[in-house]
Amino acid sequence: MFPSDQRILERLGERLRLARQRRRFSTELVAARARISRTTLYRAEKGSAAISMGVYLRILAVYGLEGDLDLIASDDRLGRDLQDAGMKSRGRSS
Protein backbone atom coordinates (compact mmCIF):
# COMPACT_ATOMS: atom_id res chain seq x y z
CA MET A 1 0.00 0.00 0.00
CA PHE A 2 1.24 3.46 -0.82
CA PRO A 3 1.97 5.73 2.15
CA SER A 4 -0.58 8.28 0.89
CA ASP A 5 -3.27 5.57 0.86
CA GLN A 6 -2.35 4.53 4.39
CA ARG A 7 -2.68 8.14 5.55
CA ILE A 8 -6.19 8.30 4.10
CA LEU A 9 -7.16 5.21 6.10
CA GLU A 10 -5.55 6.62 9.22
CA ARG A 11 -7.56 9.83 8.86
CA LEU A 12 -10.73 7.76 8.47
CA GLY A 13 -9.85 5.84 11.61
CA GLU A 14 -9.24 9.07 13.49
CA ARG A 15 -12.64 10.41 12.39
CA LEU A 16 -14.29 7.21 13.59
CA ARG A 17 -12.56 7.50 16.96
CA LEU A 18 -13.62 11.13 17.28
CA ALA A 19 -17.22 10.23 16.36
CA ARG A 20 -17.22 7.63 19.13
CA GLN A 21 -15.73 10.00 21.67
CA ARG A 22 -18.11 12.86 20.80
CA ARG A 23 -21.03 10.54 21.48
CA ARG A 24 -19.36 9.34 24.67
CA PHE A 25 -19.69 5.76 23.49
CA SER A 26 -17.36 3.20 24.99
CA THR A 27 -15.43 0.81 22.79
CA GLU A 28 -17.43 -2.02 24.35
CA LEU A 29 -20.74 -0.43 23.34
CA VAL A 30 -19.69 0.31 19.76
CA ALA A 31 -18.18 -3.14 19.27
CA ALA A 32 -21.31 -4.82 20.61
CA ARG A 33 -23.68 -2.74 18.47
CA ALA A 34 -21.51 -3.23 15.36
CA ARG A 35 -21.18 -6.96 16.15
CA ILE A 36 -17.39 -6.84 16.04
CA SER A 37 -14.66 -7.38 18.60
CA ARG A 38 -13.06 -4.49 20.44
CA THR A 39 -9.81 -5.45 18.72
CA THR A 40 -11.44 -4.98 15.32
CA LEU A 41 -12.81 -1.61 16.41
CA TYR A 42 -9.36 -0.60 17.63
CA ARG A 43 -7.83 -1.63 14.28
CA ALA A 44 -10.51 0.32 12.37
CA GLU A 45 -9.79 3.40 14.47
CA LYS A 46 -6.10 3.01 13.63
CA GLY A 47 -6.86 2.83 9.89
CA SER A 48 -5.97 -0.79 9.25
CA ALA A 49 -6.22 -1.75 5.58
CA ALA A 50 -7.29 -5.25 6.66
CA ILE A 51 -10.67 -4.01 7.90
CA SER A 52 -13.48 -4.71 5.44
CA MET A 53 -15.85 -2.09 4.08
CA GLY A 54 -18.67 -4.01 5.74
CA VAL A 55 -17.09 -3.46 9.15
CA TYR A 56 -16.60 0.24 8.45
CA LEU A 57 -20.27 0.40 7.40
CA ARG A 58 -21.44 -1.26 10.63
CA ILE A 59 -19.34 1.14 12.72
CA LEU A 60 -20.70 4.13 10.81
CA ALA A 61 -24.24 2.81 11.33
CA VAL A 62 -23.71 2.78 15.09
CA TYR A 63 -22.97 6.51 14.84
CA GLY A 64 -25.83 7.19 12.41
CA LEU A 65 -23.31 8.05 9.68
CA GLU A 66 -23.86 5.14 7.29
CA GLY A 67 -25.22 7.53 4.66
CA ASP A 68 -21.75 9.01 4.37
CA LEU A 69 -20.74 5.97 2.30
CA ASP A 70 -23.12 7.18 -0.41
CA LEU A 71 -20.83 10.17 -0.86
CA ILE A 72 -17.81 8.08 -1.86
CA ALA A 73 -17.10 8.59 -5.57
CA SER A 74 -20.51 10.21 -6.03
CA ASP A 75 -19.02 13.15 -7.92
CA ASP A 76 -16.78 11.45 -10.47
CA ARG A 77 -15.84 14.52 -12.48
CA LEU A 78 -12.83 12.93 -14.16
CA GLY A 79 -14.85 9.88 -15.20
CA ARG A 80 -17.63 12.02 -16.62
CA ASP A 81 -15.11 14.21 -18.47
CA LEU A 82 -13.45 11.12 -19.95
CA GLN A 83 -16.83 9.71 -20.91
CA ASP A 84 -17.85 12.99 -22.55
CA ALA A 85 -14.52 13.20 -24.40
CA GLY A 86 -15.01 9.66 -25.70
CA MET A 87 -18.51 10.46 -26.91
CA LYS A 88 -17.31 13.56 -28.73
CA SER A 89 -14.46 11.73 -30.48
CA ARG A 90 -16.76 8.84 -31.46
CA GLY A 91 -19.25 11.29 -32.89
CA ARG A 92 -16.64 12.80 -35.19
CA SER A 93 -15.28 9.51 -36.50
CA SER A 94 -18.72 8.20 -37.56
Q: Please, what are the domains in the chain? A: 3-93 (1.10.260.40)
> Are 40 and 51 in contact, with CB atoms under 8 Å apart?
yes
Note the pLDDT tens digit of each residue in 26-83. Answer: 999 999 999 999 999 999 999 999 999 999 999 999 999 999 999 988 888 888 888 8
Q: CA quadruple 81, 7, 35, 67: dihedral positive or negative?
A: negative
Q: Tell if the pTM clears 0.85, that is, is over it.
A: no
